[in-house]
């Protein structure tokens, strides 16, 4: 065997090795591109513990960039098929974007009022005045004890969404 043939073999093996390493690196890079970013995965679900909610004072949490209003109802507030019932407590859980043109309504003692065009929603999130065409939307959620997991469709959500 001549030196020339050995050199050609060596070059062939070297090229094959470089091509294999490059191919493997490309596959790893492609998989990383397809996989959702950790921040996207983490943003999908938001857990909120309702145990310490104060009756009559809604709180706002952010889920997937949207404000979510959570209100523990007082005895005086009307009951609704849209209520989440946990034990003897009733909660309103709605996306805080006006169903007219998407402004964020503000809580005024017993209802949410939208400053943009005067729309009003009662404590259940139902439109009662002005241009909003429908109640505030209910975000998908599931319930684990006193904790709700926003972004997960549990049976309670499915029932409320039909009410």
The residues that touch ligand FES, with contacts defined as CB under 6 A, are: 98, 100-101, 103, 114, 116-117, 119, 130-132
Q: Residues near 70 by Cβ (< 8 Å), separated by ≥ 6?
A: 48, 50, 53, 58, 59, 60, 61, 91, 92, 93, 148
* Cβ-based nearer residue to ligand FES, 30 or 115: 115
* Cβ-based nearer residue to ligand FES, 7 or 134: 134
How many other β-carbons are positioned within 10 Å of the β-carbon of residue 80? 17
CA 63, 67, 73, 78 torsion-angle sign? negative
* Cβ-based nearer residue to ligand FES, 131 or 151: 131
């Amino acid at each position: 065997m001549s030196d020339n043939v050995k050199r050609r073999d060596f070059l062939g093996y070297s090229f094959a090795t470089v091509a294999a390493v490059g191919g493997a690196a490309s596959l790893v890079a492609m998989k990383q591109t397809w996989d959702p970013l950790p921040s996207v995965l983490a943003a999908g679900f938001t857990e909120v513990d309702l145990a310490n909610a104060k009756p009559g004072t809604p709180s706002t949490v952010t889920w997937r960039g949207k404000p979510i209003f959570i209100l523990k109802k007082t005895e005086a507030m009307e009951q609704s098929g849209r209520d989440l019932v946990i034990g003897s407590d009733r909660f309103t859980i709605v996306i805080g974007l006006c169903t007219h043109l998407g402004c964020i309504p503000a809580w005024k003692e017993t209802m949410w009022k939208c400053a943009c065009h005067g729309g009003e929603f009662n404590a259940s999130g139902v439109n009662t005045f002005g241009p909003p065409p429908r109640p505030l939307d209910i975000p998908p959620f599931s319930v684990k004890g006193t904790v709700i997991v926003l972004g997960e469709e549990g049976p309670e959500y499915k029932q409320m969404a039909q009410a």
